[in-house]
Chain A
Amino acid sequence: MENIKLENLNYKFQLHYETRYTKIYSESENKVILIQVVNHFIPIDEFKKIFNRSTEIIKSEKLNKVVFDKRKMSVFHQPSMEWYFTEWKAEIAENYQVVKHRKILPEDNLFIQSVKIARKKLDETYPDAKYKQLDIQYMESLEEAIKN
């Protein structure tokens, strides 16, 4: 598989999966799976398909950190986020011990505000959810997300 350079970073990424909504890369040195959104929104069915495919890649490449780059997104979808937090994150933590999640948000106040509201609602609805024990951090750049 071909090595790809992203944003002039000194990391070698390998492209595993590509749709009109996302590209999924792996970076073996830091054991990172990078889910990079390339569209302004992702319908929930596609969203689930992409993350289920990511699970397969995490399993086969033995990765332990998820970087979710949402900088291209402008549409936030609450049900997708709910599934991603309560089901997908719990599944990969339980089955593959992936507890590190790094996210990069777009520079869009409405989007950031929507994430905050949804997260608050989620915390209230699922007080004992597994995702609360995970290491989830928001980063400013791809480099920062991979390094930290």
Chain B
Amino acid sequence: MFNHASNILLLFFIILLLGGIIYFYLKYTHLQKRYLEKDKEIADKIEEITTQSTMLQMQNRLTEAYAMDVESSRFELTAALDELDKAHQILNEFNIDLKKEVQIRTLDLQKQNSKILQFAFINAHKTRAPLARVLGLIKIIQYNKSSILEEEVLNMLISSANELDSVLFDAQFILSEVESQNKI
């Protein structure tokens, strides 16, 4: 009787023990699963934070680089503006010189023009008179056969020719002046 009761008690105890073991095993595996999930969650979070931190640090580098590039471009721009300013100054000086040169050249041209006018006047008037006389005297020689007259006409012809030569010499002088001014 006692033996039977103790067997039942033992069985009950074993069942209770097994139940406890199963309960704790299930509890343990459940906790382990949760821990693993948490671990993964934490690892993912760490990875995300590391990624964000990396990106942020690189973004900082980028911002600094852009700032440096802007500064360097500004420096280059200032240098280029300085160069431009210098070139502008040179150009201004050149323009002033050019104006002076144009004025000098204009004066020269005016002088040359007046000489050319003088030359044209000599051609038109001064050469015309002795030449007309020479032509007239040649006609007289052609139509008059008197030797006395011929000598007188010849003298007049020589005088007119000399006069023409002198006029042409003046004209040549004016031309040479114009030519020498052109060479300058």
A74 touches B61 (CB 8 A): yes
A75 in contact with B61 given A41-B69, A43-B66 (CB within 8 Å): yes
CA A111 to CA B54, docked complex, whole Å: 9
Chain A window 12-51, contacts with chain B (Cβ cutoff 8 Å), 1 for yes, 0 for no: 0000000000000000000000000000110100000000
Question: Which secondary structure characterizes the binding site on chain A?
Answer: loop
Say whether B51 faces chain A, with CB atoms less than 8 Å apart.
yes
Contact of A43 among B51, B54, B57, B69 (CB under 8 A): B69
Say whether A4 faces chain B, with CB atoms less than 8 Å apart.
no
A117 in contact with B54 given A74-B61, A75-B61 (CB within 8 Å): yes
CB of B79, distance to nearest CB on chain A (Å):
14
A114 touches B58 (CB 8 A): yes
A41 touches B62 (CB 8 A): yes
Residues of B close to A74: CB separation below 8 A: 61, 65
Residues of A close to B57: CB separation below 8 A: 110
Binding site for A on B (CB under 8 A): 51, 54-55, 57-58, 61-62, 65-66, 69
Binding site for B on A (CB under 8 A): 40-41, 43, 74-77, 110-111, 113-114, 117
A selection of 27 A-B contacts at a CB cut-off of 8 Å is: A40-B65, A41-B61, A41-B65, A41-B69, A43-B66, A43-B69, A74-B61, A74-B65, A75-B58, A75-B61, A75-B62, A75-B65, A76-B58, A76-B62, A77-B62, A110-B54, A110-B57, A110-B58, A110-B61, A111-B58, A113-B54, A114-B54, A114-B55, A114-B58, A117-B51, A117-B54, A117-B55
